[in-house]
Amino acid sequence: MSVLKNVRGLAEWVPAELAAAAPVITVVGDVILDGWWSGSIERFCREAPAPVVDLQRRDYAPGGAANTAMNLAALGARVRLVGLVGMDDAGSRLRALLDDAGVDTTGLLSTAAIQTTTKNRIIGADQVMLRIDDQAGIPSDECIAELAAAVPDAVAGSAAVVVCDYGTGALGPAVMRALTAYAGSTLVVVDAHDPRPWSELEPAIVTPNAQETARLLGATFPAGTSGREELVTERRGELFEATRAAAVVVTLDRDGTVLLSKEGQAHRTWARPASEKQASGAGDTFVACLTAARAAGMPMTTSLDLAQAAADVVVGRPGTSVCSTADLTEYLGGLSSAILPLDELLRRVAGEREQGRRIVLTNGCFDVLHRGHTRYLTQAKQLGDVLVVALNGDDSVRRLKGPDRPINPLADRAGVIAALSCVDYVTAFDTDTPVPLIEALRPDIYAKGGDYSSQMLAEAPVVERCGGTVRILDYVPERSTTAVVEKIRTLPVESTANSTAHSTVESVVDSAVGSPAAPPSAPTGVQ
């Protein structure tokens, strides 16, 4: 059995491992009841030039911190929720939905002093026409004190705590003091409109979105989406100083996420293109999956890639929804059979070009994936908008590398590459060079690793003749498939067997940075 033979089961193994860990996770935050009221539009009202929506159904879902709790429960975590609701119909409905999902609502306190925050979207003809927000108001000191008093019992024995602060005023200094006792011994993740007040906790992870990051930096991002990644990377020192977090993950909606380290950019994920259907709460899903994976002991970059996949799942659904382990299995399984024939690839790339996107092509054997590969593919993605990876077919690999290669057949290699969020499309070719593919695809940029030069490439003049540019990327020394294979072959048989599962997940999904240790109270089954 080859080292990565189990990659075919990666889509099932990782979500199953996540659910099997079943970590206890406490969510402390602002809870919301989301309403999705839909109907038809056939006329305008007489009083104003406004459409009349004839309501046909009313759907409700937990939102805000309650949505984070729902996603955690769907991923197999044992969830406790601490928050405030009013003694009203909305509060009762919200509690019932959470109870049905298996969330422990002992810490969800009902009080007559506030009303439950609701956000009702009015949808007509598949279009959100209006959102009606009914805010809870600022809780009294007594309510906040009661909320803080519920924190110790809820957090006791938890592998992780997620703080969801949307600025309602409920999570004041009293709640902060209650959580401070657990800082350093429990994985703390802060998802807040303003993470600065939570810096006293020295959280393990903060997850500001683009707007929140801009406010925190006192900056204005460039128009559109370009330049945001560079700006947050350049000013990462300010983010770490303001949040005092061990890791900062900036979520960039359609552009995925950026994991920052104090030395620079540590990892990128990319959102896969999807047609949004009035989706809401994808950020809650991302935070939930990231926390669940870290609480289960998974490496940081593995956790980020899983969280991005979970967010991709819910963005393609209408309303406020959750991503379960079954959803992750199905989604990742779909990626593992992603070798596109040339005609289908050309059709999809034509659609990307119509949207003004720049096409990047790279190719290689990618036999046993390692850090050099993933760093290289991340850099290639950053050269344009859409990354196409062309894999040498098995016969082509044998001609290039010798009769004992490839270690892994084409289907397995494609499944691994397709699982990386930086890769948009995977195809294959059996010729000794990708020249015929380049002539058909006509990429805007052709990328190769730093162990080549443009003068060495037979493809270079073809790329330029087709109107493209050749880019040579960084070379990561002492990282090669040959070295990995040689190391495996020289290990004792027992050591090789014991390291197989670790190599599969660590090499396939984890990439640019090392694997931070699991939090002290988290299970350590996956490293």
Which pLDDT value is given to residue 12? Answer: 58
Minimum mean pLDDT range among 104-108, 198-202, 456-460: 456-460
Report pLDDT digits (tens) over 212-259: 999 999 988 876 666 788 888 899 999 999 999 999 999 988 888 999
Residue 510 clears pLDDT 50, i.e. is over it: no
Tell me the backbone φ, ψ of residue 170, rounded to 5 degrees.
-75, -30
Which pLDDT value is given to residue 369? Answer: 81
Name the region of 26 (left: φ>0; alpha: ψ -120 to 50; beta: rest): beta
Structure tokens at 271: 């959102």
150 vs 453, higher pLDDT: 150
Of all residues in the chain, the percent with pLDDT exceeding 70 is: 83
Q: Measuring CA to CA, how many Å separate 485 from each of 240, 323, 405, 482, 521?
A: 39, 37, 10, 5, 35
Which pLDDT value is given to residue 11? Answer: 56
Q: What is the arithmetic mean of pLDDT over 44-66?
A: 91
- Delimit the CATH 3.40.50.620 region(s) of the chain: 336-508
Dist. CA 259–CA 501, nearest whole Å: 25
The pTM (predicted TM-score) of the whole model is: 0.75
Which pLDDT value is given to residue 302? Answer: 83
State yes or no: cis peptide before 406, omega within 30 of 0: yes
pLDDT band at residue 183 under the 50/70/90 scheme? confident
Which pLDDT value is given to residue 511? Answer: 36
Q: Measuring CA to CA, how many Å separate 419 from each of 243, 364, 476, 498?
A: 31, 16, 22, 24
512 vs 400, higher pLDDT: 400
- 30 as an active site residue: the answer is no
Dist. CA 506–CA 365, nearest whole Å: 19
Q: What is the arithmetic mean of pLDDT over 453-470?
A: 86
CATH superfamily of 336-508: HUPs (3.40.50.620)
For 193, which DSSP code?
S
Which one of 34, 255, 284, 367 is the catalytic residue?
284
Question: Average pLDDT of the chain?
Answer: 83
137 vs 339, higher pLDDT: 339
Q: Measuring CA to CA, how many Å separate 55 from each of 48, 52, 125, 509?
A: 19, 9, 11, 45
What strands, in cross-sheet order, belong to the sheet with 127-134?
Answer: 51-64, 31-44, 118-124, 127-134
Longest dimension (CA), the chain: 82
Dist. CA 206–CA 189, nearest whole Å: 6
CATH superfamily of 22-335: Ribokinase (3.40.1190.20)
Report pLDDT digits (tens) over 125-155: 778 889 999 986 788 889 999 999 999 999 9
CB 446 within 8 A of CB 469: yes
Dist. CA 512–CA 462, nearest whole Å: 32
Structure tokens at 182: 């657990």
pLDDT band at residue 500 under the 50/70/90 scheme? very low
Which pLDDT value is given to residue 209? Answer: 92
Residue 509 clears pLDDT 60, i.e. is over it: no
Residue by residue, DSSP assigns 235-249 as: THHHHHHHH--SEEE
List b or e across 81-115, with b for residues whose CB sees 16 or more CB atoms inside 10 angstroms: bbbbbbebebbebbbebbeebebbbebbbebeebb
Dist. CA 117–CA 425, nearest whole Å: 42
Q: What is the arithmetic mean of pLDDT over 83-102?
A: 96
88 vs 11, higher pLDDT: 88
- Delimit the CATH 3.40.1190.20 region(s) of the chain: 22-335
Report the relative pairing of strands 24-29 and 160-165 from DSSP bridges: parallel
Dist. CA 192–CA 487, nearest whole Å: 45
Closest to 339 in 3D by CA, of 435, 441, 437, 416: 416
CB 81 within 8 A of CB 69: yes
